[in-house]
Structure 1
Amino acid sequence: MSIGLDSTLLVALQHADSQFPSGGFAFSQGLEASSQLSARLGPCNFDDFLETQLRHRWAAADRVALARAHRLAGDLAKLAELDFEVEASTFVEGLRAGSRRNGVALLTTHSRIGTTGAGAYRALIAEGKALGHLAVVQGLLWRQLGLDEPTAVAMGGYQAAASLATAAVRLGLVGAIQSQALLGKALTIIAEVSPAPIADDEPIRSFTPLAEIAVALHGASGQRLFSN
């Protein structure tokens, strides 16, 4: 018996895979700083940190920006406006810089492999007319690849959780097996929060104060493994 396979599923798997070159390995979203500053900011439990990031940052900020970008269907001028909105809504410079660097890295890869719109948006960034925040770039590129909004949102959530799990292993906070168990739990959270309605003008907001304070303090520290 033959089994039909939707090619868009394979595209989603390719572009959500951690092996896809996007530059995200250099960022921990405040996990490194939170673990190093536990004496000042309180204990850092990775399980709690991951859930907080998904529920109170990704769901209300990155997920919203990604979905809104996806709906703009490649309108570069409106995507640039959204880009600056993401910049204004992100309080800590370390997180703003990380998002921009991740987005530009992803955009550069797609420009080199010929994804429609990638080169043009990269040119806008070079001219200072856009910033390249990760969620905006994800929405643009994944729409151009023919992926629908729910799939793009799921990919964004998975990558957010998976990158944190990888960071936790590199920091020695959890082992590789434990990280997979926690990632499985995170997928349940992503599935729970992803269907929440998003208006076309939905505000971008987050509330992770301890992680943001940690990132701000981290920026003034010396040697570190991650950029934020």
Structure 2
Amino acid sequence: MSAAAGLLAAVWQADTAFPSGAFAFSNGLEGAVALGSADGREGFAALVEMHLKHRWRSADRVALVHAFHAAGDLDRLAAIDSAVEAATLVEALRTGSRRQGAALVAAHARIGTTGASDLQVALRAGRMLGHIAVVQGALWREAGLSEEAAVAVSAYTAVQGLATASVRLGRIGIVEAQAVVAESFATITPLAALAVADDEPIGSFATLLDVAAARHGTAEVRLFSN
């Protein structure tokens, strides 16, 4: 695949217009807003940095790279899925991750991405859980992304999802949100460059986001699923 084709594939998967189902989830941000911890540009920027350093770096990024290397091997992918499940403490975040993964698999199966139909069969049979980072790693390799591009797109879509949620909740303006997205690249770049060992464990320690997501699950009124 040419460099231009690889770039186009990355832009395609990073595009918020792609039907990944992510719009329904705030990944703890709505709960953090309720706690008064994500208001305005500074509060939102701090939450983004927390997510990147304490959840994405050690959990989503590691799971995605493992899955990228295991693409096509359903047994290995299922094992990575189980590790993500065990490392995600809050039920709302586990459920949201699986739902996003299922939506991404369904979209790619309809498009005809290699391996997507097999993943969908495995999910329906209960052979896999389908956490989002796992299916991203498996599908994006087949879609033509390099490992480096897949990691970058993973980080970008995570931050962009938080930005979209914050704007929809009315906590920050759209221009301010995108300024924080741009600023996040300075955090993402060194984290994305970190090597992932074959036996590197999956784990996260984003306490505020976990507590916020857990509290959000009992809220009487909410805009997002988590």
TM-score w.r.t. length of structure 2:
0.95
Helix, strand or coil at the partner of 1:210: helix
Question: 1:205: how far off?
Answer: 1.0
CA distance in 1, matches of 2:199, 2:25: 28
CA distance in 1, matches of 2:3, 2:85: 39
Change in 2 beyond 3 A, CA 1:19/1:43: closer
CA distance in 2, matches of 1:53, 1:167: 14
Q: Is the 8 A contact 1:59 1:193 kept in 2?
A: yes
Question: 1:221: how far off?
Answer: 1.3
Aligned mate of 1:196, from 194, 197, 202: 194
For structure 2, which runs of at least 5 residues remain unmatched after alignment? none
Question: 1:37: how far off?
Answer: 2.3
For structure 1, which runs of at least 5 residues remain unmatched after alignment? none
Aligned mate of 1:71, from 69, 72, 79: 69
Question: 1:131: how far off?
Answer: 0.5
**1:139-154 aligned within 5 A:** 139-154=137-152
User: 1:118 corresponds to which residue?
Assistant: 116
Question: 1:118: how far off?
Answer: 0.7
Aligned mate of 2:181, from 180, 183, 197: 183
Aligned mate of 1:137, from 129, 135, 138: 135
Helix, strand or coil at the partner of 1:46: helix
The one-letter code of the counterpart of 1:201 is: D
Q: Is the 8 A contact 2:6 2:146 kept in 1?
A: no
CA distance in 1, matches of 2:154, 2:9: 14
Q: Is the 8 A contact 2:113 2:139 kept in 1?
A: yes
Q: Is the 8 A contact 1:87 1:96 kept in 2?
A: yes
Which one is further off, 57-66 or 186-195? 186-195
Deviating beyond 3 angstroms after TM superposition, the runs of 4 or more aligned structure 1 residues are none
Q: Is the 8 A contact 1:52 1:208 kept in 2?
A: yes
Change in 2 beyond 3 A, CA 1:181/1:73: same
CA distance in 2, matches of 1:121, 1:86: 17
Cα deviation, 1:7-49, whole Å, max 9, x if unaligned, reads: 11111111110110000001111111111123xxx67511100
Q: Is the 8 A contact 1:74 1:144 kept in 2?
A: no
User: 1:158 corresponds to which residue?
Assistant: 156
Cα deviation, 1:136-161, whole Å, max 9, x if unaligned, reads: 00000011112211110001011001
CA distance in 1, matches of 2:11, 2:211: 34
User: How many matched pairs?
Assistant: 222
The one-letter code of the counterpart of 1:98 is: G
Question: 1:73: how far off?
Answer: 3.0
TM-score w.r.t. length of structure 1:
0.94
